[in-house]
Amino acid sequence: FEEKYIATPEDLDKLRNDGRLMFGQVPMVEIDGMELVQTRAILNYIASKHNLYGKDLKERALIDMYIEGMADLNEMIIIFPIHPPGEKEAKLALIKEKTTNRYFPAFEKVLKSHGQDYLVGNRLSRADIHLVELIYNLEEFDPSLTASFPLLKALKTRISNLPNVKKFLQPGSQRKPPMNPKSLEQAKKIFRLP
Amino acid sequence: MAAKPKLHYFRGRGRMESVRWLLAAAGVEFEEEFLETREQYEKLQKDGRLLFGQVPLVEIDGMELTQTRAILSYLAAKYNLYGKDLKERVRIDMYTDGTLDLMMMVAVGAFKPPAEKEETSAKTRYFPVFEKILKDHGEDFLVGNKFSWADIQLLEAILLVEELDASVLSDFPLLKAFKTRISNIPTIKKFLQPGSQRKPPPDSHYVAVVREILQF
């Protein structure tokens, strides 16, 4: 895939003024002659197109349930850098608490209940990919978060060794680093935030 | 005969209302169990019925589904309200996701001080988009010239925002016509009448019950 980076407020203005952002927001992905917005819509399309969305409606429902929970937790991570310094400690504690008391136990239990290598349908799906991404993101805050979750640790290893994922995890791939103070400043400029 | 879907939620709109709309529009009868005490909620959690410890919960087709969007997607697909192919589906996803963003703002609005104005977002970001979509294809429904989840979700959002600002559609003639048209679909017409399972806007009693059960 190709990437066009928004580096200035004018870049974002142009996309908006050209009518390419349905609700005035990014992400936007050009694919198959369409200009898709809304992260979920984009992900649903790609997952369906590439057979990572289960084999039938019931598997899809399970995948959706799992990934919506992951999205809730991921949202907290995405917003975290934007909190003022005074709030960060409390927010971080909340993220860790939800991870270890709500989300990781749920997924560990799913893996334990069927004993299979993947979350749904004994086959790789987007649920596995999103969960491993989430685990990596959380470990950047605190590597010990997975300590009590052996099946999640094993899933992370297994998925990380899939050739495409392995390649993506190596330096030089299109994977992006965590937000740092400089990239946060740039993002605020682009969105004209104080 | 299959059991009716069973909804577990507070006796009010919140995140479950969109599910009620979709089921009603599809002509599907459903049962409801209302959460009225903290004990009921804790029992659902202890019994392991809530994957992430949260409601909404819908029992359907032998599954205990949580996560609003997962529930809505399942119902839309099951009742043929999700377009005819992947390209129609992605458009429905884009439209419903945008609409749901707006609706979530309104849903939590009842619990916040009246500073934020959801109706402004509706007028400037969301409604113009749908007015344009209807204008560009000139059809009766948002996607594929056929009734879909996108139409139901948009009607629900329109009615919701009109409760905050009755004039919100004044600059959107096609949305006005759309509202009338979709409201007259027999299953929806029935749902809009008194005595249906549609829930009223949140009042202070509802807010108090939810705060107590969820302890915030």
Q: Cβ B129–A61 below 8 Å, yes or no?
A: no
Q: Cβ B67–A65 below 8 Å, yes or no?
A: yes
Report whether B77 contacts B148 (CB < 8 A): no
Q: Is A31 on the interface with B (CB under 8 A)?
A: no
User: Residue B33's closest CA among B53, B57, B51?
Assistant: B57
**What is the C-alpha to C-alpha distance for residues B43 and A162, in angstroms, rounded to an integer?**
40
pLDDT value at position B156?
97
- Helix and strand counts by DSSP (H, E) for chain B: 10, 4
pLDDT value at position B104?
81
pLDDT value at position A84?
87
Q: What is the dihedral of CA A33, A39, A40, A43, to 10 degrees?
A: 60
**What is the C-alpha to C-alpha distance for residues A82 and A140, in angstroms, rounded to an integer?**
17
Position B16 pLDDT exceeds 80: yes
Q: Which two tokens stand for residue B124?
A: 């400037």
Which B positions 131-190 lie with beta carbon below 8 A of chain A?
Answer: none
- Averaged confidence pLDDT in chain B: 93
Average pLDDT, stretch B166-174?
Answer: 95
pLDDT value at position B118?
62
**What is the C-alpha to C-alpha distance for residues A76 and A65, in angstroms, rounded to an integer?**
18
Which amino acid is present at A62?
L
Q: Which domains does chain B have, with CATH numbers?
A: 6-79+192-214 (3.40.30.10), 86-183 (1.20.1050.10)
Position B143 pLDDT exceeds 90: yes
Residue B177 backbone phi and psi in degrees, to 5? -65, -40
pLDDT value at position B105?
80
**What is the C-alpha to C-alpha distance for residues B103 and B210, in angstroms, rounded to an integer?**
18
- Rg from Cα positions in chain A: 18
pLDDT value at position B56?
97
Q: Is A16 on the interface with B (CB under 8 A)?
A: no
Average pLDDT, stretch B131-147?
Answer: 98
**What is the C-alpha to C-alpha distance for residues B213 and B11, in angstroms, rounded to an integer?**
12
pLDDT value at position B120?
74
Confidence of residue B99 (pLDDT cuts 50, 70, 90): very high
Report whether B160 contacts B106 (CB < 8 A): yes
Q: Which residue stretches of chain A have pLDDT < 50?
A: none
Q: How many CB atoms lie within 10 A of CB A120?
A: 24
Q: Cβ A48–B68 below 8 Å, yes or no?
A: no
Average pLDDT, stretch B151-170?
Answer: 95
pLDDT value at position B7?
98
| Owner of token pair 């030089």 | A172
Nearest to A69 among B52, B93, B94 (CB): B52
Q: Is B53 on the interface with A (CB under 8 A)?
A: yes
pTM, rounded to two decimals: 0.94
pLDDT value at position B73?
98
pLDDT value at position B116?
53
Report whether A174 contacts A3 (CB < 8 A): yes
pLDDT value at position B61?
97
pLDDT value at position B110?
67
pLDDT > 70: what percent of chain B? 95
Q: Cβ B52–A34 below 8 Å, yes or no?
A: no
Question: Which chain A residues touch B123 with a CB distance below 8 Å?
Answer: none
**ipTM of this complex > 0.90?**
yes
| CA contacts within 13 A on the Cβ side of A18 | 8
Nearest to A57 among B78, B93, B129 (CB): B78
Distances (CA, A) of B148 to A7, A151, B75: 38, 40, 11
Average pLDDT, stretch B56-84?
Answer: 98
Nearest to A61 among B63, B90, B97 (CB): B63
Average pLDDT, stretch B176-197?
Answer: 98
